[in-house]
Chains A and B, each alone.
Chain A
Amino acid sequence: MLQIIKLDWSTIKYSQKRIFIILPCVFLAGYISSIYVVPTSAILFFLFSLNLYAVEEKGDLNRFYLTLPVTRNTIVTGRYCLSLFMVFGGIAAGIILMPITNLVSFSKWYPDLKWMITIVAFSLFVCALFYFFMYPILFKLGYQRGKFWGFYLPAVLLGSIYIAFLEYASLPGKETLITDLLIYASEHLILICGGMLFLTFALLVASYLLSLHFYIRREF
């Protein structure tokens, strides 16, 4: 498993430097409000993990993997693991960047552990939605054939909902909406965060099983 994760990572060798573009983008989001830092970082790192699909057809990566002594099951599992590592890395980077962005942010925010847990749970939930809508399609069709249904469409739809929500939350009279939601979530931590984490887990498992189902039947 570790071998396939390493191999996946080495295949995106020339995309790895893009990570350094993500961090300024995250910082920019934090400039508006540091609440946005962790979700933005998690989502951008998730999107970065899609480089694995973008390179796979250019270099016939799937066929290359199938010449190696690894099962398709391992290939799918390895891809999920590496991608999840990236998302967790994104969340960790967001948590580190948050207090820094808070120094320069328009909207000052003083993190509380319960709020932080809520934000992390929300970030994971959003990423799980991406996993559910993107990965099975990309595993079934590959990047070239699947990029409309498995990348652009979910990215635009989920991105639009996310931005629309942020815009709505910045309307006059709604300035405290996010804070109110965070307060509510922190007061009902088990219900809200537990629920989000449960949904995240369910979406990830469903996404993984669908991806496995499609990839095992895919022909190259």
Chain B
Amino acid sequence: MDNAIEVRGLCKQYSGFALNDINFCVPEGFCCGLVGPNGAGKTTILKAMTGMIKADSGEIYLLNRPCDAPVREELGILFDQPYFQEDWTPLNIERSIKPFYRNWDTAIYQDLLDRFSLDPRKKFKKFSNGMKQKLAMAVHLSHKSKLLLLDEPTSGLDPAARDEMLDLMREYLLKEGRTILFSTHITSDLEHLADFIVYISHGNLIFSGEKEEFTDSYCIVRGRKIPEKKRKDAIGLREYSSGFECLMELSKVGGLPKDAVTERAAIHDVIVFMERRQNNASDYKT
């Protein structure tokens, strides 16, 4: 199976933030969630992929090609809001964008505008956030993009609009060979949609692989008192007067007291506990 996305040794240094040696790949035909807290480096990675910033080092291949202008013909790129001019109508948008894409299909575009109830003569600035996202998706579907790079596509949308957006993404993936990489910090979106997860924290890659591998490797442990010898295995340990809770690798749960209970960790849990560990570590350092 070919990789739709390959990122190798991506580094980018800013004052106060650095993206360190990011490596991951996403096979063709799958959906990958790029997850991490605010400021983790998700948008920086997407910007490097789209050529909006230049990486200090590393290589990025999209659809088996270097990520330069020609490959963008097969990409759909959407950052929190589509970058269309405020006064453009969907008709203006088509007129402006169509000449750049050899595979542009006007019939598909018109169908999608109808389906999403987007008035072709209404100005872009007058659409709601959800409608704007749908319009952007209509554009990307009309030029038959093979890879969607989406930066927080569901943030700022109400639950109904978010659900519609996720449906659209699901529908996009139905056709063979189409891939999505989307960044989010709404972990329920990942539960619904993602096959793969790339987890970034403070500019470092923490995990990259299949979603099940991410959640199945860990469990949440709760109990009255954590034994001293198990403290080093506890991730994001939190102790209360009544007991403790932490995340632990499944392979390390042996040796816990009998009153301790374990339960399956969701993506949200893994990320929350991991981040707590990172923050605890930086607290100790300071």
Q: Tell me the chain A residues, 60-75 only, with Cβ under 8 Å from chain B.
A: 60-61, 63-64, 66-71, 74
Complex contact A61–B83 (CB within 8 A): yes
Q: Tell me the chain B residues, 95-112 only, with Cβ under 8 Å from chain A.
A: 95-97, 99-101
Residue total for B at the interface (Cβ-Cβ under 8 A): 28
Q: Tell whether B54 is near chain A: CB-to-CB under 8 Å.
A: yes
Complex contact A11–B79 (CB within 8 A): no
Given contacts A70-B100, A219-B54, A220-B47, is CB(A59)–CB(B70) below 8 Å? no
Given contacts A59-B83, A61-B85, A220-B53, is CB(A68)–CB(B95) below 8 Å? no
B11 proximity list for chain A (CB < 8 A): none
Complex contact B51–A59 (CB within 8 A): no
Given contacts A219-B54, A220-B52, is CB(A68)–CB(B86) below 8 Å? no
Q: Tell whether B23 is near chain A: CB-to-CB under 8 Å.
A: no
- Which secondary structure dominates chain A's binding surface? helix
Complex contact A71–B69 (CB within 8 A): yes
Chain A nearest CB from B265 CB (Å) reads: 36
Q: Tell whether B154 is near chain A: CB-to-CB under 8 Å.
A: no
Which residue from B52, B53, B72, B79 sits with its C-beta under 8 Å from A68?
B72
Complex contact A66–B87 (CB within 8 A): no
Interface residues on A, range: 20 to 34
Complex contact B86–A67 (CB within 8 A): no
A6 to B47, CA, bound (A): 26
Given contacts A67-B77, A220-B47, is CB(A14)–CB(B87) below 8 Å? yes
Q: Tell whether A18 is near chain B: CB-to-CB under 8 Å.
A: no
Which residue from A55, A59, A67, A217 sits with its C-beta under 8 Å from B54?
A217
Which residue from B52, B70, B73, B99 sits with its C-beta under 8 Å from A63?
B52
A59 to B125, CA, bound (A): 10
Q: Tell whether A13 is near chain B: CB-to-CB under 8 Å.
A: yes
Chain A residues within 8 Å of B, Cβ to Cβ: 3, 6-7, 10-11, 13-14, 55, 58-61, 63-64, 66-71, 74, 217, 219-220
The 29 listed contacts between A and B (C-beta, < 8 Å) are A3-B99, A6-B99, A7-B96, A10-B95, A11-B85, A13-B85, A13-B92, A14-B87, A55-B85, A59-B84, A59-B86, A63-B52, A64-B83, A67-B50, A67-B77, A68-B72, A68-B97, A69-B70, A69-B71, A69-B72, A69-B100, A69-B101, A71-B69, A74-B69, A219-B47, A219-B53, A220-B47, A220-B52, A220-B53
Identify 13 new A-B residue pairs, CB closer than 8 A, beyond the known A63-B83, A70-B72, A70-B100.
A3-B100, A6-B99, A10-B95, A59-B84, A59-B85, A64-B83, A64-B84, A66-B52, A67-B77, A69-B101, A71-B69, A217-B54, A219-B53
